[in-house]
Structure 1
Amino acid sequence: MSNTELSGFHNVKQTTSTNDPAEEFIVQFWGVRGLIATPSSDTSRYGGNTACVEMRVAGKRLIFDGGTGLRILGRSWLELSSPLVAHLFFTNSQSNRIQGFPFFAPAFVSENCFHIYGTAASNGASIKQSLCDQMLQPHFPYPLQVMQAELLFNNLASGSKVILDDVTIQTALINQNQRSAGYRVSWKNYSVAYMTDLYQGADEIELECIKQLIEGVDLLIANATYTPPTARSHEYADLLWKTAVNLAHQAGVKRLVISHHHPDDRDDFLDSVQTEIKNAFSEALLAREGLILPVVPRN
């Protein structure tokens, strides 16, 4: 049985020890697709796995979202020595954000420990309940309890802060309809914002939360806003990334990465979008699976 613990809605403060002396902040992309995984020859350059981003900061391992890219990340971690301690932050409980969790191999190793964070879903379910439900029959053959690692669940309210020694993770609800959280990770004079549920119709409260999280960050990871998952024309595709670009300009963001690519967006099309985005924001690029970015602090 896994050892699980549930805490209430509060600010979470933990002190952890690490043998990693590295004084660095590294971001790595393991899944960059939105809505549904799209493995094919037309998506091989940018990648077809759904959302998963790893941040290695001050010797700590932070994971944002657990789409199918989490399986690839977990497989790479099996080469590391146990015990492993990591922190998983979910933006929401939709399938493309959690579907890789049942296949996260390090969670089946008893020596490991994972702190798991998320806000309540639109139906009121906690992140623990959402992860448990997707591993119940008939959706999955084995329940969450087969995971042998220690799983510590934390429910986050909008505005909560998670403090890990000198690393601070601030959260806010940035999309009320989707019940989606945004995150800002701060360490020394470094800062990264992870905001993957931006949309064009955000109200004043949501916009204020977004601006507080992204103001002056060294790196903003954001989505291109999506239309419903139906056949679509690319004639208006430029409008889909302008939300993130406009916010980046307004907030004085140093670097912008657009992730969560639409399932219909093939590599050649994304190449053309990359050119257009750089013309609108010179320090912008599209995320690719395997992309590794060192975070450079603002002077």
Structure 2
Amino acid sequence: MMPDSISMTFWGVRGSIACPGPDTARFGGNTSCVEVRCGGHTLIFDAGSGLRGLGEALAGKMDEIDLFLSHLHIDHLIGLPFFQPAFEPGRRLRLWAAGLEEAGGLRAAIGCYMSFPLFPIGLDALHANITFNDFTRGETLTPRPGLTLRTAALDHPGGATGYRLEFGGRAICYITDTAMSPETMPAILALARGADCLVMDATYTDAELVQFAGWGHASWQQNVAFANAAAVKTLCLFHHAPEHDDAAMDRIAQEADRARRGTIVAHEGLSLTF
């Protein structure tokens, strides 16, 4: 990597529920988790089931980690209690999330998940130096020197957060779990404008979208239109429906490339550098 470049690795690309099996082996069955490296910094977006494999890869490496959560629906959080660095004494792990005031904040919300009768261990079993950072959607975050994260509210039941990471003159956007509603569209268009890469919720096709009105997701065709409107350089489809097996994902990839040349369909293990 060049010192001012940004690299991304996808450890989980599914939405709603993990769906491992022979029919999803090529694209992967783990839920949302994206590792980002820039300037020696390690950032993670979402803690789905893919976080377990990432944790194994990071085990014993004492770099600091910032983990940004789009929201706390279980498919985006289920990997956290299985994240090996969270159990390593001396490791610094910073967690970030917005919109959890009614739950008592991020620490209380995760503590609720990791408690009886939902889970056998609590937060006290995590021996890393963990900080819980609550913020307001729309706020700009500066978690490390040279890193800027702009945020925006998404249209998803219970709320969700979109992120724009800016580093070294480059920008990537992580916008998952959102419907394309008139209320949120101006803010997320501004968030994505001119980004080098947009990773976006492409759960459904246009034909399927009608069945799932109000579920807070988008279609890949909507992603293409959005990326064009925002003048994004590279579109990366993400958060695939568990019902979409490898054959379905192949068809989507072919159609999406015809609609917007260079569109990428994320799969587990994919690495991109900008």
Q: Provide TM-score, normalisation by structure 2.
A: 0.91
Matched letter for residue 54 of structure 2 = L
Matched letter for residue 257 of structure 1 = C
**Contact 1:199/1:225 (8 A) holds in 2:** no
**Contact 2:203/2:239 (8 A) holds in 1:** no
Residue aligning to 1:244: 223
3-state DSSP of counterpart to 2:9: strand
**Contact 1:122/1:178 (8 A) holds in 2:** no
Residue aligning to 1:199: 179
3-state DSSP of counterpart to 1:151: strand
1:218 has 2:199 as partner: no
Matched letter for residue 194 of structure 1 = Y
How many residue pairs align between the two structures?
Answer: 267
Write out the 4+ residue segments of structure 1 that deviate beyond 3 Å after TM superposition.
20-23, 121-125, 232-237
Task: Find the aligned partners of 1:258 and 1:285 in 2 and give their Cα distance.
Answer: 6
CA positional deviation for 1:161? 1.6
**Contact 1:277/1:284 (8 A) holds in 2:** yes
Task: Find the aligned partners of 2:31 and 2:157 in 1 and give their Cα distance.
Answer: 21
In structure 1, list runs of 5 or more residues that go unmatched: 1-19
Give percent identity, aligned residues only: 33
1:174 to 150, 154, 165: 154
**Contact 1:121/1:179 (8 A) holds in 2:** no
Q: Deviations over 1:271-298 (max 9, x none)?
A: 0100000111112111000000001xxx
1:30 has 2:11 as partner: yes
- What is the 5 A alignment of 1:150-169? 150-163=129-142, 164-169=144-149
**Contact 2:4/2:168 (8 A) holds in 1:** no
Change (3 A) 1:135 1:236: closer
**Contact 1:170/1:185 (8 A) holds in 2:** yes
The CA RMSD measured in Å over matched residues stands at 2.3
Q: Deviations over 1:179-227 (max 9, x none)?
A: 1000000012110000002313x123x1111011100000000011459
1:146 has 2:146 as partner: no
Q: Deviations over 1:73-102 (max 9, x none)?
A: 000111x432x3110000001000100000
- What is the 5 A alignment of 1:56-205? 56-78=37-59, 80-82=60-62, 84-121=63-100, 123-163=102-142, 164-175=144-155, 177-200=157-180, 202-204=181-183
Q: Provide TM-score, normalisation by structure 1.
A: 0.84
